Amino acid sequence: MPHTSFRARTLLLASALVAATVTVAGSASADPVTPATTTTTTKAANAATAEAGRVVVSADFSGAALPQGFRAVEGDWKVRDGRLWGTSANSAQQSRITFGEHLDDFRIEVTARFETAADAARWTAMGLDLAADGAVPWSIATMRTGTTASNGLEFAQRTAANAWNVTDTHAAPTAAGTGKDVRIAAEVHGANAVWYFDGKEVMRTSRVARSTGGVQGLLVNGASVSYDDLEVTELPPRSWIRPEGTPLTVIAHRGASSVAPENTLVAQEIARRGGTDFVENDVQPNKDGIPYVLHDSTVDRTTDGTGAIRSLTAQQIGALDAGSWFAPHYAGARVPTLAAQLDDLRTRGGNLLLEIKGQHTRSEVATIVDTVRSHGMTGRVFVQSFEVDALRYTRELAPEIPLGLLRSTLDADPVALAGELHLAAYNPEDGALAKNPSVVADLHRAGVAVMAWTVDGADRWKALEALGVDGVITNRPAELTGWNRAFLQNRQAPAKPAVTVISPAPGAALGRAQAPVPAVQTQDAEKVALTLDGRPVAAGAPLDLTGLATGEHTLRAEASGPGGTEVATSVFTVRADATGLAHLILTSGAKDASIGTMATLLGQKQYSTLATWARVQSGKGLDAGRAALIAADAKSLAGAS
């Protein structure tokens, strides 16, 4: 595999990571770890009875009290004016309310509005996994009032030690601020989640920390936030077949192996920070039967030692340096046990595409399966192998773990073989797939995903995406993650324009002497057309109110762009007043004598006489249209006096 062209970019990051990661590797044990548990609310969690599409929570807060099943555990929570209000007294208080039930796959969505906030860093969050009593640890999807900041949106964890672990950040496409409704949502599949802001996908993560009983919730910090139309819906289990319009699944080949020593925890950490969906690693037993993460049959290439992995004891392997061969600053990295790798993924986040490397007995496969189970990771591990027997053993021992068959060349009938082996994915080498690309559609029709290996170039990523391939195993996971983000931006439907009339302000009462300039505020618009009472007006040109009748008038702004058309209106009133009437007279175009007569009558407040005089002179010394306006305004003033 090529390494040199990418090392320089990550030396600083790797130097910072290696010490901490090596410590984790050295201290990890193969002892079983029991996942954290929490207490459920009134509905019991039962994956066996999961019902996709079931609405678990639906609340419009039309009542006077908190809905049944809602539990306010900190801060001030109440229902008023048809909304749920949550208040946190200060930036130190994480106000929380919990509801719902434990779900592996679900969507939570709500309309949120910041009513007040101490500053732009204050936040509200959707609780993705909280204990029903609100106790730590919990996982959340956060929105700050300053949403357009680089960390305006976050996926974060509050750890058991009551400390923050922010795993992912992104800027929202528009500002939330205060007083504005925003529709926010998150879709969760196990440790994976997608953040949606006003219907737009913003970011993805594979690092949601999950418990065995966590429910959903809402949180507020240093702000007062109101909510409406809350829904929690159970989703079908994650499909390995990529939905149209979604990005390729990023699978880090042996970790971030282009920038770190392969199959080490530091390579796994760099891949995780680069946004990978799965880490792909190899597993095989040592002399003691302990599963180790190693690609080759010997330790010669990737450590400072020699010998077949199956001939070495745990003590011998634990003393090997698995990092110096790649670069000096990785000195001290170790060959991890599968148990250590699973510990790291379970506590720090991530999913594992685990290749059973080489021939394994049923007993050896059973040890691998037992290790995965004892770490509570069956829902986050996908097993693949070139060895058909290894897949058959895995199926017998753990039918809940998805299986993938690796192939250097395509089988005569991949669909039939996939059915025989109960495969979730058929994983061919990219060059083999390129010779018969139609097999992707054939496998998809059979419900089987396709994950191609090992692909490191954007030209092939583009070709595989167009072909419908579901995942790509790559040495360059961070680069593919970036490519995916660009793909999403290009594929997202254009935003619908937004438009607001600023001037004349809605409800304004204007005199004829005024000349307001139409002003509109737009977003995502390429063109804006203005009309006044149905007649086109020029943007930026003052409105001539001398030709308008008294009463209401409508300025209409139509904004159009790639995302469609949006309309905004402002209804304002032209009122009769002495100043406006004087303006009508002086700009009437009448002869000086006529202007003098009208001005005198106006100055003496003889409005009725002025109205009569204007009607008599209409079409003679005074334009008929202007005469009618002068008469109408004068009559109006006469009635008001």
Summarize pLDDT for 83-136 with one digit per residue, the tens. Answer: 999 999 999 999 999 999 999 999 999 999 999 999 999 999 999 999 999 999
d(CA 139, CA 64): 29
∠ CA 211-53-104, nearest 5°, is 10
pLDDT at 513 over 80: yes
Residue 313's CB: how many other CB atoms inside 10 A? 12
pLDDT band at 51 (very low <50, low <70, confident <90, very high): low
- Contacts of 378-383 with CB under 8 Å at 24 or more apart are 379/104, 379/190, 380/190, 380/191, 380/345, 380/346, 380/350, 380/351, 380/352, 381/342, 381/351, 381/352, 381/354, 382/278, 382/351, 382/352, 382/353, 382/354, 382/424, 382/425, 383/354, 383/355, 383/356
Q: What percent of the chain has pLDDT over 70?
A: 91
Predicted confidence at residue 39, as pLDDT, reads 28
101 vs 51, residue with greater confidence: 101
pLDDT band at 299 (very low <50, low <70, confident <90, very high): very high
Instruction: Find the distance separating the first CA and the last CA of the chain, reported in whole Å.
Output: 93
pLDDT band at 448 (very low <50, low <70, confident <90, very high): very high
pLDDT band at 52 (very low <50, low <70, confident <90, very high): low
| Average pLDDT value over all residues in the chain | 89
The third-level CATH classification (topology) of the domain covering 498-575 is Immunoglobulin-like (2.60.40)
User: What's phi and psi for 268, nearest 5 deg?
Assistant: -65, -40
DSSP-assigned letter for residue 622: B
Please state whether the predicted TM-score (pTM) of the whole model is above 0.75: no
The mean pLDDT of 341-367, rounded to a whole number, is 94
Predicted confidence at residue 30, as pLDDT, reads 32
The mean pLDDT of 548-560, rounded to a whole number, is 93
Class of 4-34+243-488 per CATH?
A: alpha beta
The mean pLDDT of 400-419, rounded to a whole number, is 97
pLDDT at 44 over 70: no
Task: Say if strands 223-234 and 55-59 run parallel, antiparallel, or are unpaired.
Answer: antiparallel
**Could you give the 3-state DSSP secondary structure of residue 547?**
helix
Predicted confidence at residue 209, as pLDDT, reads 87
Is the CB of residue 97 less than 8 Å from the CB of residue 72? yes
Predicted confidence at residue 193, as pLDDT, reads 94
Q: Please classify residue 482 by burial: count the beta carbons closer than 10 Å to its beta carbon, then call 0-12 exposed, 13-18 middle and 19+ buried.
A: middle
d(CA 464, CA 459): 9
The b-or-e profile of 72-92 (16+ CB within 10 A means b, else e) is bbbbebebeeebbbbbbeeee
Is domain 51-234 classified as CATH 3.30.750.24?
A: no
d(CA 610, CA 633): 10
The mean pLDDT of 303-322, rounded to a whole number, is 98
Predicted confidence at residue 379, as pLDDT, reads 87
Is the CB of residue 333 less than 8 Å from the CB of residue 261? yes
Predicted confidence at residue 226, as pLDDT, reads 98
d(CA 252, CA 229): 39
DSSP code string of 2-14: --HHHHGGGHHHH
The mean pLDDT of 435-452, rounded to a whole number, is 97
245 vs 420, residue with greater confidence: 420
pLDDT band at 9 (very low <50, low <70, confident <90, very high): very low
- What lies within 8 Å, CB to CB, of 575 at 6+ separation is 509, 510, 511, 550
pLDDT band at 495 (very low <50, low <70, confident <90, very high): confident
DSSP-assigned letter for residue 183: E
